[in-house]
Structure 1
Amino acid sequence: MMITLSMIVKDEEKYLRDCLNSVADVVDEIVIVDTGSTDNTIEIAKDFGAKIYYFEWIQDFSAARNFALSKSTGDWILYMDADERLEKSSIDEIIELTSSLEKKAYLCKIICPIQNSNIPEVIKYVRLFKNSTEIRFTGSLHEQITPSLDMNGYKILHSSVEIFHLGYNVSTEEMNKKYERNLIHLNDELSNRFDPYLYFKLCETYAGLGDVTNALKHYTILTQVAEAPSIYKAHAYKYLAYYEMENNNYIRALEYTLTGLSFDKSIPLLNIAASKIYLHNNDYLNAFNYSMIALETNRFDENKLFETYIEDEEIFLVAFTSAALAFNRDMYNYVYKKLQNYPMNIINDRRFVNLTFALFNDLQVEDSLIKSADSIVKQCNLNFILNLLKNYIDVETKLNILKRLEDRYEEEYSLLISFGKNLYEMKRYSEAAEKFDKALMKYMPEPSDLFLVISCNMFAGNFTKISHLIRLAENQYKSHPEIIIKLNELKVKLAAVNYKEDLNA
């Protein structure tokens, strides 16, 4: 069977050669429709023996695509953009899929690397279909072929064909130009006809531009559109949930997250959002369970038309943290065993995993891990390690690790408080007070920590400092009567201590 690569291009000299190289061993005909290039695009196309046609741009992608189809003579059509590359391993599959003349079309995996992210977005679009004069693209922007295929009785099937789309792996400036261009077309088209797919793209475009006000407005409207597919609504709730999380409104965030999951339980970002919210709410069992669901759903599913995936490392860290805060060895070791089935580089530094495993199970920590703790423990998982150290039995090892961590995170409030607490438990009050002093230069502690700091200074004999702390606390917690009562009790005790000192003097 003859396969035609059908393309529309404009000023694509940066991308075109690699695109055409990627399909050279599978297509029999290359049809390129140029809409006004002023660079070397045409010369590159000629190098590959392409049939070149010209089409005056009329702000309509479907019109240009359909013109390209009218010039394509192959039995099958593969359509791509210049900034796309066919994965070499997909060539044999394409040859096999196009071995008949049945009215079929195939969904292909479009893998979209994202700027400043290690995890791509994966979308499934029909890119390969049996050629027919009856098949036409529709939509001036985000053109679609599926409606025409459905109308003409085509079977739309899944495939494993992979196409890498580089258009999102560009600078923020370039991406914003695309979004601005698309926004104009989307609003124009939606003013003439409402289409849930286009409306979803409008929401994504506002989100991509960072226009939070319009993104929130339109995603909220989308959740109420009866004819919108469930997957669109689920992703709308995902955006709303993450917005509320960023603004520390965890009650509303959880509502949006669970509503989104009611439409689609398999969205990794919603499951990890639920896990983080429950973690914030100290519901460690639910946090752990949702992290495990996130891990299971963070895999390509051929039945899903699109999905944004997340790094497995992020999921494992949330799961480990949930287990650590619950101090549940069964949960922790379950995650640890799961991790063994993943590539070594899933968590960038396996020394981190070995360190946490030893701490959680009260095992002896290797000297090499103690000495390199400052390089092993990153900012993003510091609090996780501190929680593990809280319950670790070997006091000397614990202090040695804290010392190493202080070399790197000497200004980190949570580390200083943790270090101070451990020294306090060892009755090394003066040293503990020094750590607490450094921490107080950053933040006023939580009430429970505040009274510990005051107690520490009392044992250390720093009575002047205690008076200063009480004044600070009275100002900070003046709207909390239960704390003020305790502070007044402390003032009475402190006055009694000062009175005795005066007598002894």
Structure 2
Amino acid sequence: MPRLTLSMIVKNEEKYIKDCLESVKDIADEIIIIDTGSTDDTIKIAESYGAKVYNFEWVNDFSAARNFALGKSTGEWILYLDADERMDANSIHELKRIIGTSQRVGYYCTVKSIDREESRDNSMSYVRLFANSPEIKFVGKVHEQIVPSLTYCDYTLSRSSILIHHIGYNVSVEDKQKKAARNLPLLLEEYSANKDAYYAFQLAQTYNVLGDDENASMYFKIASESAKLDRQYRAQCYASLALIAHKNFKAPDAEKYIAYSLKVDDKQPFSFLLASKISHRKGELNLAEDKCKRAYVLNQALLVKGLDVVLCVLLDPEEVIYYGLILALQTKNNANYHFYQKELFALYQSRDETNGTNNYEPVQKIFSNSAFSKQEVDAITGLINKNNLNFFLFMLGNNPYKQQVILIVDKLRVNFPDSLEVRKLDARLLEEFGKIDEAIEILESVVKENQTDPAVFFYLISYYLKLGKEDKIKPMVLLLEKYFSHIPDVMTRVRMLKRKLLMLTTVPL
């Protein structure tokens, strides 16, 4: 009898399956592949690794396919993976140790979902390795689970340090939404039949990917209120609710939910970073700085020591470092400023020992507000990414060498065409050079596309005043009242603005 069976269900996975099978070829004694209708080279690749491939007619039920695979698996132990997952090479030794025993146990493994698009790596614990038995069955049409069956059959559930890398979410927003849209009907059907908090959580996550804040919030609230759901899931629900509120400028809700999240679980780096940004928007800079530092320290500890958690959202250190630098500059905290500079240099060195120092040198020019050559303009532009964009815009906005700044901003307009902050800085620079009409043109295009930042509207009103375009002021004030009536601070500014306009203009408000 084989010791370990790798059990998989696949469809059109030629892009991913080779690396998956390569990662376990020296440990899996049997590979069972259930194909649900591939039209590419998936089967051919699988068979090249000695896999036994069986066809299965798709019935809109992931558990049905998984259970069919279990029925074909003869190993004493079952490891189940998806084609877009890879076993970490350092986990093979522990995997060998576990399958060398004979016991009714299911082992939690850490599945780390890499997402460079969002600069967030989600790590979650799932039972992916368990002793084989004909009694064991998966449940759930989608986001299928094995734990209920293992528990019912009196299996012991234990933790392992086995790490599985999941790269399927390291795709564009559009591809994530296609996958979410595919899963949504199955999830709704499953939740209709089984009002389980886990499925409420998965529904919330799915609606979140689809950009449906209303339904995402509804299901996050349902899941967060369930005492049966693991506290780390509940903390993530509250953090997600806080993020939605923060995105929509609902400050009281954002503060309430992030406080709940940290109360339920105070070991989540993402929650502390979000708490920092909520405080930052309120102008509570010292509090924001403290929470940012906490987020960074927690995140580094998890990256270095590893994870022993059910759910954790890991941060890209670069994002936190650059955000910490902005806060340190705003609070004039030299200690933190030098701390983050040191961490940044170490980060660049760790990622590229050869060019780490060379990459850091252009950044030092930015730190010192110095002039830079054309070559350095290119080097700086090449270093800017979505993790550090706001920091560079912050520094460039204060750099006295405006002609050089314009060269960089022109490149950033090409590299980050959808960035609101880049266009705002571009408008500010044009204003400084007396090109207010061009600045207005940029911000008017922003208002047509994006109504999420009240600052754009206030900038436009100030530009209209400078050029005496009084007829354009009232429509902009009305838009502020239309889109931001739910934000007390903005409405306070609007009332003050109206009083000033009554004194300065003939605009009927």
Q: What is the TM-score with the length of structure 2 in the denominator? A: 0.74
Alignment equivalent of 2:380, drawn from 355, 376, 396: 376
The alpha-carbon deviation at position 291 of structure 1 amounts to: 0.8
The alpha-carbon deviation at position 479 of structure 1 amounts to: 4.3
Matches of residues 117-132 of structure 1 in structure 2 within 5 Å?
Answer: 117=118, 119-132=120-133
1:118 and 1:149 map into 2 onto residues whose CA distance is 35
Query: Residue type matched to 2:95 in 1?
Result: I
Matches of residues 447-458 of structure 1 in structure 2 within 5 Å?
Answer: none
Alignment equivalent of 2:318, drawn from 313, 316, 326: 313
Aligned position for 1:158: 159
2:345 and 2:75 map into 1 onto residues whose CA distance is 48
Whether contact under 8 Å (1:374, 1:404) holds in the other structure is: no
Q: 1:151 to 1:373 in 2, by over 3 A?
A: same
Specify the SS of the correspondent of 2:50.
coil
Matches of residues 65-464 of structure 1 in structure 2 within 5 Å?
Answer: 65-114=66-115, 116-117=117-118, 119-170=120-171, 172=173, 174-298=175-299, 299-300=302-303, 301-344=306-349, 349-351=359-361, 353-355=363-365, 358=368, 372=376, 376=380, 379-385=389-395, 389=398, 399=400, 401-409=401-409, 434=434
- Please tell me whether Structure 1 or Structure 2 has the larger radius of gyration of its CA atoms: 1
Aligned position for 2:482: none
1:141 and 1:467 map into 2 onto residues whose CA distance is 58
Q: Per-residue CA shift, 1:238-297, capped at 9, x if unaligned?
A: 222222222223333222222222222233322111111222222111111111121123
Query: Residue type matched to 1:381 in 2?
Result: F
Instruction: Could you tell me which runs of 5 or more consecutive residues in structure 1 were left unpaired when the two chains were aligned.
Output: 360-364, 390-397, 421-431, 455-464, 489-505
Query: Residue type matched to 1:100 in 2?
Result: T
Of all paired residues, the percent bearing the same amino acid is: 34
Q: 1:156 to 1:480 in 2, by over 3 A?
A: same
1:370 and 1:172 map into 2 onto residues whose CA distance is 34
Q: 1:166 to 1:383 in 2, by over 3 A?
A: closer
Query: Residue type matched to 1:354 in 2?
Result: Q
1:480 matched to 2:496? The reply is yes
2:344 and 2:433 map into 1 onto residues whose CA distance is 40
Q: Per-residue CA shift, 1:186-232, capped at 9, x if unaligned?
A: 12222222211111111111112222332122223333334333222
1:33 matched to 2:34? The reply is yes
1:66 and 1:55 map into 2 onto residues whose CA distance is 11
Whether contact under 8 Å (2:345, 2:360) holds in the other structure is: no
The alpha-carbon deviation at position 122 of structure 1 amounts to: 2.6
Q: 1:342 to 1:190 in 2, by over 3 A?
A: same
Q: 1:37 to 1:408 in 2, by over 3 A?
A: closer
1:178 and 1:370 map into 2 onto residues whose CA distance is 44
2:30 and 2:146 map into 1 onto residues whose CA distance is 20
Query: Residue type matched to 1:405 in 2?
Result: V
The alpha-carbon deviation at position 81 of structure 1 amounts to: 2.0
Q: CA RMSD in A?
A: 4.1
Whether contact under 8 Å (2:289, 2:324) holds in the other structure is: yes
- Larger deviation, residues 411-420 vs 293-302: 411-420
Specify the SS of the correspondent of 1:114.
coil
Q: Per-residue CA shift, 1:148-190, capped at 9, x if unaligned?
A: 2333443433333332333334455554443233222212222
2:233 and 2:273 map into 1 onto residues whose CA distance is 18
- Larger deviation, residues 67-76 vs 281-290: 67-76
Q: Per-residue CA shift, 1:296-340, capped at 9, x if unaligned?
A: 233355222233333222211221111111112123223333444
Q: 1:262 to 1:313 in 2, by over 3 A?
A: same
- Larger deviation, residues 323-332 vs 478-487: 478-487
Q: Per-residue CA shift, 1:325-373, capped at 9, x if unaligned?
A: 11121232233334444343779942354245546xxxxx5x6589836
2:501 and 2:62 map into 1 onto residues whose CA distance is 71
Q: Per-residue CA shift, 1:13-55, capped at 9, x if unaligned?
A: 4443333232211111122334444555444433333334444
Whether contact under 8 Å (1:33, 1:55) holds in the other structure is: yes
The alpha-carbon deviation at position 403 of structure 1 amounts to: 4.1
Aligned position for 2:450: none
Whether contact under 8 Å (1:386, 1:415) holds in the other structure is: no
Whether contact under 8 Å (2:34, 2:53) holds in the other structure is: yes
Query: Residue type matched to 1:73 in 2?
Result: T
Whether contact under 8 Å (1:275, 1:318) holds in the other structure is: no
Q: 1:482 to 1:44 in 2, by over 3 A?
A: closer
1:474 and 1:175 map into 2 onto residues whose CA distance is 41
Query: Residue type matched to 1:143 in 2?
Result: E
1:212 and 1:318 map into 2 onto residues whose CA distance is 26
Whether contact under 8 Å (2:318, 2:344) holds in the other structure is: no
Whether contact under 8 Å (1:320, 1:332) holds in the other structure is: yes
1:49 and 1:375 map into 2 onto residues whose CA distance is 48
Specify the SS of the correspondent of 2:322.
helix
Query: Residue type matched to 2:260 in 1?
Result: T
The alpha-carbon deviation at position 469 of structure 1 amounts to: 6.8
